[in-house]
Amino acid sequence: MPFDGFILASRVMVAKEAHSSPGVKDLIVAAKGVDDAQWEGTYAKETGGILTVRSELGEPIHKVANRAVKLWKEFDNTVFNLPKEKRAAWLAERKSEVIAKLNKDFSKPWFGWEKDGRVVEDIADMTYEEVVLRMIRLMYVGHEERWIDVSLRNLTGDWLRRVEERFAGVNGGGPKPSILQSYTSLDKPTNVVQDFFKKYPAATEQLLASEDKAYFLAISQRPGQKPAPFIPILDANFEAWFKKDSLWAAEDLEAVFDQDPQHFRILQGPVAVKHAVVKDEPIKDLLGNIVTHLAQKLLERSYGGDISKVPSIDYLGARPLPLPETIAAELGTVPETSLWLETLAGPRLDWVRALLITPNVVQGSNYVDNPMRRLFAPRPNQRAVVETTSDGVPTSLILYGSARSFGEHKSDFKAVEAHFNAAKSQIDLTLYEDREDASVPLFLHFEYKPSQGFAPMHKVAGERNTRIKDFYWRLRFGDNETLPTNLNVCDTFAGPEVTIDAVEVEDFCSVIENQGEAFKTTRNAEVQPPMDFAIVMGWQAIMNSGDVCRNEGHIQSVVITDACKAVKVKGTIFCNGKPVVEVVSAFLYRGRFRDFENTFKVIEEPTTSYNVAFVGMVLPGDELKVNIKHTSPCTPAIWSSRLRPLTSAADGTAEIAQLEASTVYVFTGQDSQEPGMDMELYNRRVLHTRLRRRRSLQLGSVLFTLVCSNTSIYYYICTLM
């Protein structure tokens, strides 16, 4: 059956780039392996250095037959072959034997231990200090100053907290701060543990309480943390303690307490290991040898070993359909698109077929629909020219005729041109647009990768946006114009002055079916263009026919949203030097953008903000009194009332911006403590009196009012006309 690829597992474990420990690679290379017909022998006994054991999920799995796997196989055939309820009794009868085998042959040793090195068969016979020291010995890599996993560091911290809870109140004295304030202090646990047991010396002698033994077993097998690399109890769950998380040590030899490769469990297929004969073989050489061997086998099977019989094609793909010798078509119709594209593509698997037939094109990291299928679709009055070499290899594909977006279709107009650049393995595509009988080209490039037959066309993104901008610039402003290189999004772009022609206005109204009499030259000497005409001439000019107008435009905002980048542009049309129309356009560019440093938004805010409520009726001739109270630095309150009769007319609040505050008058101390402050000096000293009067003439009477009466409300009288 067909397949997309294959995965290499066992074979690459000896590669130079593999994370397997050096001792593990030595054991793999030492295994002899077997042929494909003999691998089933691993189920019963060691075959080619491989044994098949039962995984923790109950499925057979192949492993290198070292001491650890042989012990695994032994337990599979004995205790793990018993019903779960009978396993505890079997283990109790052979407890000393099982513990000895674990310590000798397995990477998960027995946890029970005393400081003098003796084995303890029950962790209840260990002191609290011995439990902590054993945890650090089995889970902390001392010579590399790291924990096997941070969750095991936290496991040790949880146990230390339990010990502290047990012994903190032994000597009384009320609440005590915990010695272990943060688990990060256990990143280097030696000094912390020494200080800990100096604080609680009783924990170095006291054996574990039954509650603490149960707590230790519970936290050692709780979910969410790395399984403990030791076995603390022989019970009905012994298989889980023994088999869980069995493969990680093969990639971290230094983390195992004795660094013995015989204690590891090493995955390895019995057939694959036969070919793993070189330690640290570069992956490039390893994969290259596999490809060479497969190619040689295919050559011998399909071509008798003669390489000259192998056909040459650009890429692997669906075999082209044979075309009928005679194609029937009715006059006045175009052929079916798929048949037309197959005809253009020809019988070869080359760049033309990739251009026309491939359903997808690679754009960055995405696959997009191939737009060439729409571009080269058949159209009336169209002519296609395929240029080839003498041996039939296509070099270019050109379309003439009916591919213009506007206006009369010219039969000799070159609309599309595709060339293949063999040196760069690149397809150069040029689209032409007719602008006033001048062809404006748009250049697109596709990298041709025949090695990827499923998608051999890759868009060349380099300078793609620049080429597209250059195309539209020349399309709008002329073929001889060049795209400026110093454009800034904050600049204001001014267009040329344009005189509006009444005939253009009338033609526009005819297109949009606007039959208004004001827009016809037969009814008016001076035609007034409709507002819709601003969209057409907005980038040139508008209003009265015959007016000389100019336009300016600037970018108001560039904003990135979840789905697109939004660019808002405002164009202002000036007529006789005055702005008459503003046209605001928004452009949305789909995609995900991350260039937030290029975003901005210009916001026009009013200089004054106010809120007014009319609460009474005002009649002509009424006299109004307006009261203003400065309630805060930026919020004065305003209200007005009728003098006769005295009723409220309106009230409101306003924020008033001071536009020109180039001068600030500061009277330090005056009236800052009490009303009338400094007036005694004013009445007694002539020089001070003159200075104060001079300032009052400049500022008005408000200065005396502030100082003497601390006035905060001012009254103005006005009469409604």
Ordered domains of the chain (ranges, CATH) = 1-109+236-306 (no CATH), 111-230 (1.20.930.70), 337-477 (3.30.1120.100), 492-601 (3.10.129.10), 609-719 (3.10.129)
pLDDT at 673: 61
Residue 530: is it exposed, middle or buried by C-beta count within 10 angstroms (0-12/13-18/19+)? middle
Check pLDDT > 50 for residue 330.
yes
Selected residue with higher pLDDT from 393 and 680: 393
Percent with pLDDT over 90 in the chain: 32
Residue type, 542: I
Residue 88: is it exposed, middle or buried by C-beta count within 10 angstroms (0-12/13-18/19+)? middle
Q: Which stretch of DSSP H or E encloses residue 573? A: strand 564-575
Of 339-353, 530-544, 650-664, 679-693, minimum mean pLDDT range: 530-544
pLDDT at 509: 81
Q: What is the mean pLDDT of residues 608-617?
A: 73
> Cα separation of 181 and 178, whole Å?
6
Selected residue with higher pLDDT from 702 and 598: 598
Angle between helices 150-167 and 189-199 (to 10 degrees): 10
Q: Give 498-546 pLDDT, tens digit per residue.
A: 677 777 777 778 777 777 767 777 666 677 777 677 666 554 433 344 5
Check pLDDT > 70 for residue 674.
no
Of 304-308, 419-423, 499-503, 647-651, minimum mean pLDDT range: 647-651
Check pLDDT > 80 for residue 210.
yes
Check pLDDT > 70 for residue 182.
yes
Q: Give 650-664 pLDDT, tens digit per residue.
A: 777 776 665 555 555
Quickly state the pLDDT bin for 487 (edges 50, 70, 90).
Answer: low
pLDDT at 672: 57
At a CB cut-off of 8 Å and minimum separation 6, what does 632 contact?
none
Of 358-372, 391-405, 489-503, minimum mean pLDDT range: 489-503
Check pLDDT > 60 for residue 553.
yes
* Tokens found for residue 484: 């400026």
The answer to whether residues 455 and 360 touch, using CB atoms and an 8 Å cutoff, is yes
- Taking CB atoms within 8 Å and a gap of at least 24, the contacts of 407-412 are 407/434, 409/381, 410/434, 411/381, 411/383
> Cα separation of 657 and 231, whole Å?
77
pLDDT at 543: 39
Rg of the chain's alpha carbons, rounded to an integer?
45
Check pLDDT > 90 for residue 584.
no
Range with the largest mean pLDDT of 6-10, 97-101, 328-332: 97-101
Q: What is the mean pLDDT of residues 606-615?
A: 70
Q: Give 469-479 pLDDT, tens digit per residue.
A: 888 878 877 77
Mean pLDDT over each residue of the chain, to the nearest integer: 81
Within 480-563, strands assigned E span 492-494, 498-499, 548-560
Check pLDDT > 70 for residue 665.
no
Q: Which stretch of DSSP H or E encloses residue 62? A: strand 60-64
pLDDT at 162: 93
Quickly state the pLDDT bin for 410 (edges 50, 70, 90).
Answer: confident
pLDDT at 311: 80
pLDDT at 516: 76
Check pLDDT > 70 for residue 174.
no
* Tokens found for residue 162: 């339990």
pLDDT at 501: 74
* Tokens found for residue 613: 């409520």
The answer to whether residues 433 and 416 touch, using CB atoms and an 8 Å cutoff, is no
How is 316-363 classified by DSSP, letter by letter? --PPPPPPPSS----TT-PPPHHHHHHHHH-SS-SHHHHHHH-SEEEE
- What's CA 669's distance to the chain center, in Å? 60
Percent with pLDDT over 70 in the chain: 79
Range with the largest mean pLDDT of 96-110, 425-439, 520-534: 96-110
pLDDT at 380: 83
Q: What is the mean pLDDT of residues 624-651?
A: 61
> Cα separation of 568 and 583, whole Å?
10
